[in-house]
Structure 1
């Protein structure tokens, strides 16, 4: 039989097969139909959503067909009702009985495999109800002690037992004759369990699936144990064992993945087969008695009959050799071991010795050889660098220059010289600017509180020790930034003999020495002051204008800045009078203070952003995330929000892999605060994604909720509303 499909106007939530496997019923919030399964098409047989009074009793979460009486159906409604339907009723409406015993949405219903009048349900109110269709009432109530019961099924091998899975990750085994206590209970998953299925052949096997992206096979003997675990890429919403095959099971995802995967539980990493016909999430799956026929419905409004021969085979495309790198830098390789019994030479040409691979029945394990190469810690991949940097880096609480200097020292100590140079460049680019994350509440600090961070005086000492004066290496004026009085006393005898100071040179008062340039020994040139008037006056002793400006008398300097008096007097008045509002203008002179010219503003943000992307592309997501936190709003609106969110989630995952829980929590809190403060251009949902993925809920003051949501509400309710 080939793959066929039919499209509806609205999506369906569940489907069920008739006992003879010739008809299928689909149900949803706005659809409730029965189709006959033909060789080439689906033929609609009945539309049960008819009548004048359509209400929420027709809005279905689940549907099940009675395994003995072919005319009886049951549905679980979103309003908490359990409804039975009789197809043999003569009236247009086939609704038979409505049970309103649950107070919240009913998730699952299941008929007893041997007693057609017994029906059990599981609801979001945490209770399970056993209904007797003959008495038209609920005869037993079972309490799960959980917020919600997600799935419930009778044991097909022991008719008095049933199993239920709950929102808290527990599996409960009940004897339906005893409602006062549970027979067996154990925790199966780290989060809510959404589906279960009894194995049709092995009486003690049960499969469970949940939000933790795993499918687990349990052996329910004396002590329940996990036989196999399948890791999927998304939360699992449905699981069904494949008929007539012991180790095969089908699953569909609750989020992200639209495919239906068929797994061999002994090879849990790659699906044996996959059906990709659905364009949206699959909401229900069901095997016919034939292991090669699978039916499914999805949110893309289609009902599909899948033929196993049309499925894609991911296992066929897998490379037989594999390479893996651990968190600690170890490299492992795996390759398939060739069978020695394979014929070679002329015998290989005979087809009798060749057995083609049958992937439909592929259930054997493959032997492989594994080799591991241990990398040194100082190699290209080093966990030591990441762990030590995460422990020692500063993210907040200090000014930006202090943080950059500290982090640069940490990187230099770890021999990460390029990273250290990057922090120094950030220090120079944002010199004197406050830290980007100092505004985060509750995270401020003082540089004096941490003895590990001391002010760097090396530059000041270097400037103090390097003194260059015209006319020699004698001490300068103590008022002009030269030697102090104590330093002048410790100078050599040469300094005492050549007492040449800048002030003496400027005023023309030299002692037995002329002005000179250059290094080396000082040769005194005698100057004849007595015959000064007898010099040849015809010679022009005027210095060129481009060499020096004429010397002027030094007046008292004005205490008022130029920008203050420039608005009071016109330039003409300043030029004529030389004074403004009683202040004396200082005439330009050779000894006027040399002021540094203002450098043009250089916008370096684009270069910093390029640097962040470069580090991330090379695998150093730690550097990218740390720089974003430290720089704060200086990179606002310059980074791709999706990329930033990916960097943060990747770095948090790395920190948790190395069990750096405190550092991970700090990064999460800083990231969330930056989202709230609109420092990062990412959404509020992204902030909650960081919390939910990591499992950390930061403690925020009540004012935070006013800034974000407009009202104060609990963290848990806000998180669930965003899921």
Structure 2
């Protein structure tokens, strides 16, 4: 049959096939119809919503057809009711029985494969109900200990068991004869599981799908193990095994992807086929007995009968050659290996009758060659840089200036000078310059940062020498730069020498004497800068007001130029003084007060945001995330939350790859504004314990192993069952009561069981 599409007025949530594979029922909030599957079309046969008394019992989340009695249907309602329908009723309304045992929305209903009177349901209230249609009541209740049961199905290969998946990511296997305890339970996904399906041929295989964008195939032997994992691009809402094909499974998404993908579980990354007829999300899928025909409904109000021959083949569009570059600078090249052998002679004639396999039929292994070219030197962002920076960077705990200074030093030690300069710039932009010109010039080897480098004090020593000794020509050049009498006796040299000496004297660079004339020796007094308290306090170290003591008092002072009047004297005061003669004016100070011009602060946040994007584009997501954490809320309004979330998740993935668990946890703690990142620390961790004798998984709070019956925890010293605190050695797994082990380890180091292991109890 070819691909056929039927359009409805409203969308449907689910569909189911009749046992004879000739009819299909669709159900939704406002639709409940039966269609007949004919050769070239889908023909409507019945509308089960007909009637005057329509209520929420007709609003369906799921629908199932009884596999034994083809006249019985069951639906899961949004109001918590489970409703059965009898198509053989003579009345217009086909409603048969309503079960109101659930308190919240029912997500799934399932008939027993061989007992037509048994029906099970899973609800948002966390319970599963087993209904007996003969007695018209719920005969048993199963508690999942989860918030919601999303899907439940009877085992088609074992009449007494069924499987349920929950909101918390757990898979539970139940024996319907034992409602008090679950037979087997394990965590299958990191989030809610939305669908499951038993394999029609392999009795121990089930497929589960959930919000974590994966489809997992489990082998339910004694210890459930994952056989295959399929990665999808969106959360998966429905999965169905393809009949008569062991490795093919179909899926539909809850978000973004409107296509129905058919996967080969041996090739988990590219679909084998895809049906793209739906224009909105697909809500229900179902295979017919023929593996080439698939039925589906969606939110685009359509019911579609798909033909496998009309499906697209994504494998045909895949490039057989691939090139990948890692963040560490390694290059990988993959190409398909071509067979050089060509048949000749009679073999060539026989090959004419052999069917050539299409590209989309290559479902098994394909031979290919992979070449990995590793860079000899680390690239701009090497693994060494990431690990060492993550270990040494500061994120919080100090001021912003101290954090930036520390992180700049870490980057400088790793020879990442551009990163170090970036941290210094962040310090100047948000804190200010503190520490001299080195912050501005960006020196990367200053004496302040490297204690092994001694500062150059030659100029300082020269200044101290000039300050210690001034005047006189004996003893070398002590004039602070002038020539001695022996070096030049010209008048110009003497004048220059004399001027330099006067300059030194006026600046305070003299000894005890005010000035010295003659050729005699000078009693130089050494000045100890390191021990200022040991100076001779009897000496007068005050600099005189004049370089020379005047011979007589100056009685008539010259007039002061107008521009030299102090700003403190008003013109009126000057006029009242009758002139400037005898009026002592305040001279302007040599150190004048400079007042800064008030300017508006520079907003640098946009520049910093551009810097973050630059480092992210350079594959240095570590720098972007670290800067965001250090700067706090300063850039909150300018950053895209989705982009920041992507940076955080990428950096956390890198840290976990390098097993830097503590640093990753610290980064997660500083992502309070990103729920998808912060919730990684809110997820619970489950530790599964096995029996020490038979290695069978132990259930929660179980003291005895269900398989061998031995105690799950026995003391190695008293051989009794441990009911309280239990301590064990992680090397040999032997342990016992806490006080018994403490007494033993006080005098012994070897294991008390005699296994020879030197136990360590933490």
For residue 92 of structure 1, what is the aligned residue in structure 2?
Answer: 92
Query: Cα distance, 1:586 vs. partner?
Result: 6.2
Structure 2 CA distance for aligned equivalents of residues 585 and 134 of structure 1: 120
1:526-550 per-position Cα deviation (integer Å, ceiling 9, x unaligned): xxx9xxxxxxxxxxxxxxxxxxx99
Q: Quick check: 1:621 aligned with 2:621?
A: yes
Q: Is the 8 A contact 1:278 1:300 kept in 2?
A: yes
**TM-score, L = length of structure 1:** 0.72
For residue 44 of structure 1, what is the aligned residue in structure 2?
Answer: 44
Structure 2 CA distance for aligned equivalents of residues 511 and 663 of structure 1: 69
Query: Cα distance, 1:80 vs. partner?
Result: 1.8
Q: Is the 8 A contact 1:473 1:495 kept in 2?
A: no
Query: Cα distance, 1:50 vs. partner?
Result: 3.2
Q: Quick check: 1:21 aligned with 2:8?
A: no
For residue 593 of structure 1, what is the aligned residue in structure 2?
Answer: 592
Q: Quick check: 1:170 aligned with 2:163?
A: no
Structure 1 CA distance for aligned equivalents of residues 306 and 45 of structure 2: 21
Distance 1:88 1:603, change over 3 A: same
Q: Is the 8 A contact 2:316 2:360 kept in 1?
A: no
Query: Cα distance, 1:46 vs. partner?
Result: 2.2
Structure 2 CA distance for aligned equivalents of residues 256 and 41 of structure 1: 29
Question: What SS class does the counterpart of residue 263 from structure 1 fall into?
Answer: strand
1:390-446 per-position Cα deviation (integer Å, ceiling 9, x unaligned): 222222333333222211111111111111122222233334399xxxxxxxxxxxx
Distance 1:142 1:431, change over 3 A: closer
Structure 2 CA distance for aligned equivalents of residues 140 and 179 of structure 1: 7
Question: What SS class does the counterpart of residue 611 from structure 1 fall into?
Answer: helix
Question: In the TM superposition, what are the counterparts of 1:420-431 in structure 2 within 5 Å?
Answer: 420-431=420-431
Distance 1:427 1:105, change over 3 A: same
Question: What SS class does the counterpart of residue 630 from structure 1 fall into?
Answer: helix
For residue 712 of structure 1, what is the aligned residue in structure 2?
Answer: none
Query: Cα distance, 1:658 vs. partner?
Result: 2.8
Question: What SS class does the counterpart of residue 656 from structure 2 fall into?
Answer: helix
Structure 2 CA distance for aligned equivalents of residues 506 and 326 of structure 1: 67
Distance 1:424 1:572, change over 3 A: farther
Distance 1:551 1:51, change over 3 A: same
Number of residues of Structure 1 aligned to a counterpart in Structure 2 = 597
**TM-score, L = length of structure 2:** 0.69
Structure 2 CA distance for aligned equivalents of residues 502 and 304 of structure 1: 102
Q: Quick check: 1:401 aligned with 2:413?
A: no
Query: Cα distance, 1:85 vs. partner?
Result: 0.7
Question: What SS class does the counterpart of residue 24 from structure 1 fall into?
Answer: strand
Distance 1:640 1:335, change over 3 A: same
Query: Cα distance, 1:381 vs. partner?
Result: 4.6
Structure 1 CA distance for aligned equivalents of residues 293 and 153 of structure 2: 23
Structure 2 CA distance for aligned equivalents of residues 217 and 656 of structure 1: 26
Q: Is the 8 A contact 1:325 1:331 kept in 2?
A: yes
Q: Is the 8 A contact 2:328 2:379 kept in 1?
A: no
For residue 691 of structure 1, what is the aligned residue in structure 2?
Answer: 678
Query: Cα distance, 1:696 vs. partner?
Result: 6.5
Structure 1 CA distance for aligned equivalents of residues 61 and 332 of structure 2: 47
Q: Is the 8 A contact 1:205 1:218 kept in 2?
A: yes
Runs of 5+ consecutive residues of structure 1 not aligned to the other structure = 435-453, 477-482, 514-528, 530-548, 559-568, 579-583, 676-686, 698-723
1:192-235 per-position Cα deviation (integer Å, ceiling 9, x unaligned): 32221111122222222223322222233344333222222232
Work out which of the two has the higher radius of gyration on C-alpha atoms and give 1 or 2: 2
Query: Cα distance, 1:466 vs. partner?
Result: 5.5
For residue 391 of structure 2, what is the aligned residue in structure 1?
Answer: 391
Distance 1:652 1:86, change over 3 A: same
Q: Is the 8 A contact 2:327 2:619 kept in 1?
A: no
For residue 238 of structure 1, what is the aligned residue in structure 2?
Answer: 238
Question: What SS class does the counterpart of residue 146 from structure 1 fall into?
Answer: coil
Question: What SS class does the counterpart of residue 334 from structure 1 fall into?
Answer: strand
Structure 2 CA distance for aligned equivalents of residues 253 and 141 of structure 1: 31
RMSD of equivalent CA atoms = 4.2
Distance 1:691 1:428, change over 3 A: closer
Structure 2 CA distance for aligned equivalents of residues 74 and 167 of structure 1: 23
Structure 2 CA distance for aligned equivalents of residues 417 and 346 of structure 1: 70
For residue 661 of structure 2, what is the aligned residue in structure 1?
Answer: 661
Runs of 5+ consecutive residues of structure 2 not aligned to the other structure = 435-446, 481-500, 518-547, 549-560, 578-583, 685-762
Q: Quick check: 1:279 aligned with 2:266?
A: no
Q: Quick check: 1:197 aligned with 2:184?
A: no
Distance 1:327 1:106, change over 3 A: farther
Which range moves more in the overlay, 232-241 or 644-653? 644-653
Query: Cα distance, 1:689 vs. partner?
Result: 2.3
1:549-601 per-position Cα deviation (integer Å, ceiling 9, x unaligned): 99959x8x98xxxxxxxxxx9x98899899xxxxx996546x23374865966
Distance 1:93 1:396, change over 3 A: same
Q: Is the 8 A contact 1:474 1:501 kept in 2?
A: no
Question: In the TM superposition, what are the counterparts of 1:375-386 in structure 2 within 5 Å?
Answer: 375-376=375-376, 378-386=378-386
For residue 727 of structure 2, what is the aligned residue in structure 1?
Answer: none
Q: Is the 8 A contact 2:328 2:378 kept in 1?
A: no
Q: Is the 8 A contact 1:475 1:501 kept in 2?
A: no
1:499-545 per-position Cα deviation (integer Å, ceiling 9, x unaligned): 655682699x99589xxxxxxxxxxxxxxx9xxxxxxxxxxxxxxxx
Query: Cα distance, 1:475 vs. partner?
Result: 7.2
1:655-690 per-position Cα deviation (integer Å, ceiling 9, x unaligned): 333333333333333342xx4xxxxxxxxxxx2222
Q: Quick check: 1:288 aligned with 2:288?
A: yes
Which range moves more in the overlay, 63-72 or 364-373? 364-373
Structure 1 CA distance for aligned equivalents of residues 641 and 679 of structure 2: 18
For residue 66 of structure 2, what is the aligned residue in structure 1?
Answer: 66
For residue 128 of structure 1, what is the aligned residue in structure 2?
Answer: 128
Q: Is the 8 A contact 1:285 1:296 kept in 2?
A: yes
Distance 1:475 1:276, change over 3 A: farther
Question: What SS class does the counterpart of residue 339 from structure 2 fall into?
Answer: coil
